[in-house]
Amino acid sequence: MVEGPGCKLKGENMKKRLVRQQVASVAGNALMKGGKKAAETSPFLCLNGSHLTDVKTVGKELFAFFDNGKCLRVHFLMSGWIQYNKEGHDKHFKKSQIDVNPTLCLVFNKDTMKLYKSSVEIRNSEDCEKRYQDFHHLDICSDTFDSTAAIQLMTAQSHRMVCDVIMDQDILPGVGNIIKNESWLQSTKVGISEWKCPQCTLNNLDTRKQCAACGHPNNAAKSDVMEAVVQKRGTSSHPRKETKEVKCEKHRKACLKKTVSKQGDNKGRLFYTCSVQGKDKCNFFQWADEHHPVCNHGKRSVVRQVMKCNANNGREFYCCPNPKASQCEFFQWVS
């Protein structure tokens, strides 16, 4: 769906190009609703001879105001777009829709505007202006967006689901699934992780200080937290060994460290290659993981990073390079 930002950009472009121009003729599918006879009395014909005075947007709605007291209200639905003259279409245009007839075509004295795949209707300018004044301060794309007022409206909806409140166009006009999903991603609360008891192997919630089955204390969490604090301060007693800079023999320049991506026994392994680009690139090659320990399969282990949100988040460890289904239980922290 064309959300608030897309609608606002369309409105700004329309205002820049068409304001003060006069409508010479009106056409499009919107006039044909009800047959050819209905087209002769279509409400869109009232735009003939009128001048476009202003264009405003609030949320996903676009209002084009004319000097005869009428307003063209446009909603771009799921994938509506605009074409001016014979220029290229905007970003919501799809090549498969190149033969689609316009919903509404307004021929001005200088430019021609065609609206595609959109909902259009004629309203009184006063009603549209009132809606704009009532809601533009809640539009997240508006320069006058009032976050305090928006928060007050949202908190007053405590009886409703958050997802419904965010998508309510009378509370946060312009917000759609894309904006909603992005905001939720930024404010995600990660679920509670677990720790495995070394005594009975039961998985316990990270908040438990001792195993629920055998009562074994969660000493690992305490030591991990202390180690993480020490590492952040840069005073770890087990600093990671830094490898010396590797240079190719021909150019004597620092090499690039890459990962094997081809399928095979070496997939995931690290290697050095010449950093020079183009024809001058030499064939230098050297494994960069010879210092990695070997897993139970006899293969060179690969480095992974802890992604769970716990005391070990961000720490690197060695593990089996095989796919998850055939991995062995080899595990070792990167010191």
Average pLDDT estimate for 247-266: 86
Percentage of the chain surpassing pLDDT 90?
Answer: 39
Taking only Cα atoms into account, the Rg of the chain, rounded to an integer number of angstroms, comes to 32
Q: Is residue 45 part of a domain?
A: yes
Which of 15-24, 160-169, 193-202 is predicted least confidently? Answer: 193-202
The tens digit of pLDDT for each residue in 92-105 reads: 555 555 558 999 99
Q: What is the mean pLDDT of the chain?
A: 83
pLDDT class for 232, splitting at 50, 70, 90? very low
Q: Is residue 13 part of a domain?
A: yes
Determine contact, residues 75/174, Cβ cutoff 8 Å: no
CATH number, domain at 282? Answer: 2.20.25
Average pLDDT estimate for 213-224: 67
Q: Mark whether 251 and 311 lie in a shared domain.
A: no
Q: Check residue 222 and give its pLDDT.
A: 52
Q: Is residue 182 part of a domain?
A: no
Q: Is residue 172 part of a domain?
A: no
Q: Mark whether 256 and 335 lie in a shared domain.
A: no
Q: Mark whether 46 and 101 lie in a shared domain.
A: yes
Structural domain that includes position 27:
4-138
Please give the tally of structural domains in the chain: 4
Supply the pTM of this predicted model: 0.54
Q: Which residue has the higher pLDDT, 260 or 67?
A: 67
Q: Mark whether 32 and 102 lie in a shared domain.
A: yes
- Residue 8 in this model has a pLDDT that exceeds 50: yes
Q: Mark whether 28 and 110 lie in a shared domain.
A: yes
Average pLDDT estimate for 273-300: 90
Q: Mark whether 41 and 121 lie in a shared domain.
A: yes
Q: Mark whether 277 and 308 lie in a shared domain.
A: no
Q: Is residue 96 part of a domain?
A: yes
